[in-house]
Structure 1
Amino acid sequence: MKARWDIFCSVVDNFGDIGVTWRLARQLAAEHACAVRLWVDDLRAFERMCPEVDVQLTQQWQEGVDVRHWPRNWTTTEPADVVIAAFACQLPHDYMEGMAQRERVPLWMNLDYLSAEEWVVGCHGLPSVKFKGVQKYFFFPGFGPGTGGLLRETGLVDRRQAFQRDPQAQQQFLQSLGVFPMAGTRLISLFAYENTGLASWLEVLAAQLQATHLLVPEGRILGDLQAWLEVEALAVGDVHRRGALTVQVLPFMRQEQYDRLLWCCDFNAVRGEDSFVRAQWAGRPLLWHIYRQDEDIHLDKLDAFLALYTEGLSPAAKAALIALWQAWNADGDMAESWTRLLEHWPQVTQHAEKWCLERGLQADLATALVQFYESWI
């Protein structure tokens, strides 16, 4: 019989948590024949990336996944064979009691946040707390051996490369979004948290000789964009031009569309975790707006990734890339670091593809989870 999996997702940051768990649930069902229940406490957030979801239903099937609303008042449910608490969310007490009462206790894992910090390798796969004899394990995604890998569907990199070799496919996709860039224009996608440093970046883009078309899916950065454009409001479909810069607001899109948007662009500014990983699979230079945490502990995670990601770059290119990322994550002035990065554009572009292909050599996250379960039983 197929193993039954329960994935619990408490939506904290609008889309990052549900973005990761939704991709994982679909891949486990489609590629590993797992029976998956995805428990989500905020179906409204889920609806943005899966419009077919009926937010009024407590149970429904979407793309082979049994989607359940995670209610505040929990009702008795038989626990699955594998239980994933995504990002350290607290399982319902009655559900935990049910795990302990099973004849064969389930494998219980905390799927943690993505990090390149060195301590992750030492903690990945280790036992954590127990609840009445049910052992929980740490499971860490990561960028290299000794971690759980990254979410990546089978054949993803091949599909991406084929799409990027097909100018007509890219044009058709962009036109489906109402995007008609001029020939020779640099395409940049922007998905970020609020950032007062945006204005300095936009100023330098507007002043450059090469034209830039900035594609901005709906999100929290629109307020800063609106202030720079000096307009009363921004809506989907709006197009504004200033100097060499064209700014266009796109609708919030489902994950498969967003992937293709990243594949079309020459540079991708992304936020959180799900879009961060997808930008790496795009094989293009990127800029990560990391989720801000108390006491700036997120900067340790940022620095750890930069140390790993910039290996193999020339000292000048490495310094330029690090300066850009640090300025962006400190709401700093982006003009000088962006200009410096452009001096090394061919190198950082080649490096992005090389990084992607190297990450693709390790097992993907869904496969690693299945292998962990098979070893455990």
Structure 2
Amino acid sequence: MHWDIFCRVIDNHGDLGVCWRLACQLATQGDRVRLWVDDGAALQWMAPAGQPGVEVIDWRDPDAIGSAVAAAAPDVLIEAFGCDPAPELIAHFARRSGAGGRKGAWINLEYLSAEPYVERLHGLPSPVFRGPGEGLTKHFFYPGFTERTGGLLREAGLVEARAGFDRTAWLAAQGIAWHGGPVWPLFCYEPPALRALLTTLKDASSPAQLLVAAGRPAAAVRAALQAPGLRRASDALPITWLPALTQPEFDCLLWSGDLNFVRGEDSLVRALWAGAPLVWQIYPQDDDAHHVKLEAFLDWLAAPPSLRRFHRIWNGFEDGALPVPDAATLAEWRDAVQAARARLLAQDDLATLLRRFVAQKS
């Protein structure tokens, strides 16, 4: 089967990360995938080795579009996160679907949420009445956390790889000096309580080792360290500044964590598969819709009250001192995450459900 996946990079690399994982999973199952992206620069560090079966194409290149129009149209067109693919390619897909024989499937891959509307809207048709795709029907495909949604990305062998992971060896291979204490990977935007977290580390008798991801997380931490009370202590804090990591190495980072701070969509899913306690910084929205989205996720997670409060303060929804999780609290958080992971592992993964859906609609 031939898939065309369209991705527009907005910011933070999350959209591209999801699309790349999906493309790789489809390709490893024997399909041909073209990933059309308007800015694939992040793949240079995210996936420098590429993936057999996946062709990355700059959809701003008119020659690439012309070549695609001259070739056979794909069996499946995936419009990731409402990104509006090039009209010439939609028209080409429409001609294929209108030429008789097996129809192509046009999928609008949506953002991840635990809100109730996801189950209601997943799989619904959206007829196209105008434009180059006139006469076709898109279908909404919603990733999600329940059996009535499109599931989550999960590669074959992921659970086994996680179970066989050697934290000591991986940290040593990264040149990270680890002395056996707790490890807290930090992948965030600019959380309101970041300064409070660093102050907690500074004042702890046996502080956790903070592994700070490159990019916005590192910039946010460096800015927070300029605050009074932290500037002089910054050199003594147990902070490791990480380089940009490939997707497999980022998974290993989360497998190393005793408490994983993650952000956005892709890293949240990877933290769930890691099975360690997690804190999620949700992508902020101007209308505060992210408040509802976060609470829906915490409800699905069956998060204990202490984890809910930590999330609300971390995300700036609630005022107050950032609570310091002790061993018993972290164990409670870990139990919640691992129970949620077990529920997810009992369900089919996103790629499997997507294939099944496409087979029904083609």
TM-score scaled by length of structure 1: 0.86
Which whole-Å deviations, capped at 9, do the CAs of 1:108-164 have from their partners, x for residues lacking one? 00000000000110110110132322110000000011101000011211220221x
User: Partners in 2 of 1:177 and 1:336 — Cα distance?
Assistant: 30
SS in 2 for 1:295: coil
Which whole-Å deviations, capped at 9, do the CAs of 1:302-330 have from their partners, x for residues lacking one? 111011112xx6xxxx2111111111111
Q: Percent identity?
A: 40
User: Partners in 2 of 1:150 and 1:19 — Cα distance?
Assistant: 13
User: Partners in 1 of 2:112 and 2:34 — Cα distance?
Assistant: 23
* Equivalent position amino acid for 1:44 in 2: A
User: Partners in 1 of 2:7 and 2:327 — Cα distance?
Assistant: 40
SS in 2 for 1:288: strand
SS in 2 for 1:157: helix
2:188–2:262 CA contact under 8 A, matched in 1: yes
Which whole-Å deviations, capped at 9, do the CAs of 1:36-61 have from their partners, x for residues lacking one? 111111021222302246xxxxxxxx
Which whole-Å deviations, capped at 9, do the CAs of 1:345-372 have from their partners, x for residues lacking one? 2222222222112211111001111111
Q: Is residue 63 of structure 1 aligned with residue 65 of structure 2?
A: no
Question: For residue 269 of structure 2, what is the aligned residue in structure 1?
Answer: 277
* Equivalent position amino acid for 1:207 in 2: D
Pick from 326, 335, 360: which aligns with 2:312? 326
1:306–1:322 CA contact under 8 A, matched in 2: yes
Q: Which deviates further from its counterpart, 341-350 or 353-362?
A: 341-350
SS in 2 for 1:44: coil
SS in 2 for 1:6: strand
Which whole-Å deviations, capped at 9, do the CAs of 1:27-81 have from their partners, x for residues lacking one? 01102x211111111021222302246xxxxxxxx33212211116443524301
Q: For structure 1, which runs of at least 5 residues remain unmatched after alignment?
A: 54-61, 164-168, 232-238
Q: Is residue 302 of structure 1 aligned with residue 294 of structure 2?
A: yes
Question: For residue 36 of structure 2, what is the aligned residue in structure 1?
Answer: 39
Q: Is residue 366 of structure 1 aligned with residue 351 of structure 2?
A: yes
User: Partners in 1 of 2:322 and 2:187 — Cα distance?
Assistant: 21
User: Partners in 1 of 2:240 and 2:350 — Cα distance?
Assistant: 34
1:42–1:69 CA contact under 8 A, matched in 2: yes
Question: For residue 137 of structure 2, what is the aligned residue in structure 1?
Answer: 135
User: Partners in 2 of 1:336 and 1:101 — Cα distance?
Assistant: 57
Query: What are the residue-to-residue correspondences of 1:75-90 with 2, within 5 Å?
Result: 75=66, 77=69, 78-90=72-84
Pick from 40, 45, 65: which aligns with 1:48? 45
User: Partners in 1 of 2:256 and 2:207 — Cα distance?
Assistant: 16
Which whole-Å deviations, capped at 9, do the CAs of 1:78-105 have from their partners, x for residues lacking one? 4301010001110111112112211144
Question: For residue 166 of structure 1, what is the aligned residue in structure 2?
Answer: none
Aligned-pair CA distance for 1:337:
2.6
Give the direction of change, closer, same or farther, for the CA distance of 1:346–1:196 in structure 2 (3 Å limit).
closer
RMSD: 2.0
Query: What are the residue-to-residue correspondences of 1:127-206 with 2, within 5 Å?
Result: 127-130=125-128, 131-163=133-165, 169-183=166-180, 185-206=181-202
User: Partners in 2 of 1:346 and 1:334 — Cα distance?
Assistant: 23
* Equivalent position amino acid for 1:304 in 2: A
* Equivalent position amino acid for 1:17 in 2: D
1:197–1:334 CA contact under 8 A, matched in 2: no
Which whole-Å deviations, capped at 9, do the CAs of 1:243-281 have from their partners, x for residues lacking one? xx4011000100000101100110110111111100000
1:195–1:221 CA contact under 8 A, matched in 2: no
Give the direction of change, closer, same or farther, for the CA distance of 1:38–1:267 in structure 2 (3 Å limit).
same
* Equivalent position amino acid for 2:311 in 1: W
Comparing both structures, which one devotes a greater share of its residues to strand? 1
* Equivalent position amino acid for 2:139 in 1: Y
Question: For residue 354 of structure 1, what is the aligned residue in structure 2?
Answer: 339
Query: What are the residue-to-residue correspondences of 1:201-220 with 2, within 5 Å?
Result: 201-220=197-216
User: Partners in 1 of 2:2 and 2:149 — Cα distance?
Assistant: 23
Aligned-pair CA distance for 1:290:
1.0
User: Partners in 1 of 2:223 and 2:86 — Cα distance?
Assistant: 43
Give the direction of change, closer, same or farther, for the CA distance of 1:330–1:126 in structure 2 (3 Å limit).
same
Aligned-pair CA distance for 1:199:
0.5
Question: For residue 57 of structure 1, what is the aligned residue in structure 2?
Answer: none
Aligned-pair CA distance for 1:335:
4.2
Q: For structure 2, which runs of at least 5 residues remain unmatched after alignment?
A: 228-232
1:268–1:279 CA contact under 8 A, matched in 2: yes
Question: For residue 112 of structure 2, what is the aligned residue in structure 1?
Answer: 114
Q: Which deviates further from its counterpart, 282-291 or 104-113?
A: 104-113
Question: For residue 230 of structure 2, what is the aligned residue in structure 1?
Answer: none
